[in-house]
Structure 1
């Protein structure tokens, strides 16, 4: 297979750490250019990549097939549209867009132009999520009636960065919450109703830094929670079904490795230490440790390569990413009006 020439738009934490090390590790791709205002930083990590000052310059001068958009959230939609209109395949870092209507318009544009479009919801390839998916598919949990998914951390100081400013798409609901909601949508589909409480908890907070959301399904509730004032993480997942329960502590280790610019193939990639395996308790009260499935964010890009070269399905369909944005919109509405919002 001819390597897919790829351009990376944005070289902040997402482009530098969460995208480049994975793309660089795969023979199916050739990372040939980066759009960045800091050429020295790009060249320090990717010495052979061309550096462009703007997306417009890239689209005018570059010959890449795939454009990966890793910019601040409010630029996702406009940049995706420009790349699609230029005849490029597109991967957009999560969340897809700020508003669901914009996502629907861009998805329709990709279909009209015949270009592949996918959204980088990488945590579908977390080991803990894959373990829960396997337990559910094998029927070991029975019928799941309650799932708690939490992402708690301790960051009491508000930082001066776009993610924490009073701008569209900022705050941890769009950032972390989109991951948790996407996992729920992937497992259970679109919920019937959303009940949410969103807060600005920390002194000086300008954007949402705490969310607690109940997604109501027929016979099942999924609770997703995240905040910046927890000195202990607590369980990452708690899943309760008619045949058993599964409780898992600890975060997937791939993100920490990527922050060190270590990608697929590096020591420990996708592995979960045995001490952090989850525990399954059956209906008779017997508890056993469950080995965590191996995670692999690179699987997203391998599926994207198959979509581009062989017309296989993209790894994350735009319609699913749009559903996540609709749930986020419903959460804001629910919290503001202090009521349940039906979808």
Structure 2
């Protein structure tokens, strides 16, 4: 296993959008991490973009490959459990892209396996390090608008054409709620804790859609209501965050730009990395509208903190228990939507 003086050797499983856009560039930006192997059915693309990195066609062979310390799984959701389970049993640390698994019982089993083998299991809830969320969380902690009572978090896009990809086909943990919902739920739980109630409505709105492409979920935390919304027909998206409190309101209109920066070739450490030009706006006690600069984001912090945790120098950046809570709320929302009623989610042990 890697020591403080040697790099943490990584096998990246899958080389689709999430792996190419997020995992590979973020991993390569962090000192002490070394990409040693990629599992992919497209070796030419991997070798063109990651010269010199070996490619393995069989993901199950890759997750147990000798000489690998950390396995990063960025494959379709229904493969997360068997790949992560095999890696943990082979003595590897594991990162699973969100959602942890398609099924809550599988998520619990993975956590138990990690504990039994003394390995770190983490889930890539990268949106905790977004500029928009960090800015809103800081303002709320400062009591800028008093105590929050109404919270809106939305991720809206304009993609009117259904694409032929696994996320938009029927299957375990597919559809928009399972794609964007984990981000929305994870941030809400980080701010407010465990919800008392979950209400949900899911729909297929685009011509040819075979999975949900619109989601509206309301979490109740005592007097607080957290509205989580996602859609694919928003040519003019609503604000990323809106919070109404006992003394005023705040708005963060535009989303974090790191995904677009990564696509454009920017990397952590570049001068513009994580900079968000859209300010936080708020009004308090009937005073004037005020603004202040957004706090920069940095999703590479996930891998920085993970490397520290593997070296025994810090905590796991996303604990399995936290990801399991997200899974429980995700499943509660599916049940609420199916039954057409509010449900009370059971807090996982």
TM-score above 0.5: yes
Once the two structures are overlaid, the 10-residue window that deviates more, 138-147 or 107-116, is 138-147
Q: Measure, in 2, the Cα distance between the counterparts of 1:170 and 1:59.
A: 23
Output aligned runs, 1:9-48, within 5 Å.
Answer: 9-48=13-52
Deviation at 1:55, TM superposition (A): 2.4
Q: 1:300 aligns with which of 295, 299, 302?
A: 302
Aligned to 1:34, the other structure's residue is in SS state: strand
TM-score by length of 2: 0.95
Deviation at 1:311, TM superposition (A): 5.2
What CA RMSD, in Å, does the superposition of the two structures yield over aligned residues?
A: 1.2
Match of 1:333 in 2: 335
2:60/2:83 contact within 8 Å kept: no
Deviation at 1:267, TM superposition (A): 4.0
| Ranges of 4+ aligned residues in structure 1 off by more than 6 Å | none
The answer to whether residue 148 in structure 2 is matched with residue 144 in structure 1 is: yes
Match of 1:201 in 2: 205
Deviation at 1:174, TM superposition (A): 0.8
The answer to whether residue 165 in structure 2 is matched with residue 161 in structure 1 is: yes
Output aligned runs, 1:1-343, within 5 Å.
Answer: 1=4, 2-273=6-277, 276-310=278-312, 312-343=314-345
1:296-338 CA deviation, whole Å, 9 max, x = no partner?
Answer: 0011111101110015221111111111111111111111111
TM-score by length of 1: 0.97
Q: Measure, in 1, the Cα distance between the counterparts of 2:287 and 2:172.
A: 47
1:98-153 CA deviation, whole Å, 9 max, x = no partner?
Answer: 11111011001101111001100000000110011111222222211110001111
Once the two structures are overlaid, the 10-residue window that deviates more, 264-273 or 34-43, is 264-273
1:21/1:261 contact within 8 Å kept: no
The unaligned stretches of length 5 or more in structure 2 are none
1:169-218 CA deviation, whole Å, 9 max, x = no partner?
Answer: 11111111110111001111121110000011111111110000000001
1:27-80 CA deviation, whole Å, 9 max, x = no partner?
Answer: 120111100111111111111211111123224544110000000111111111
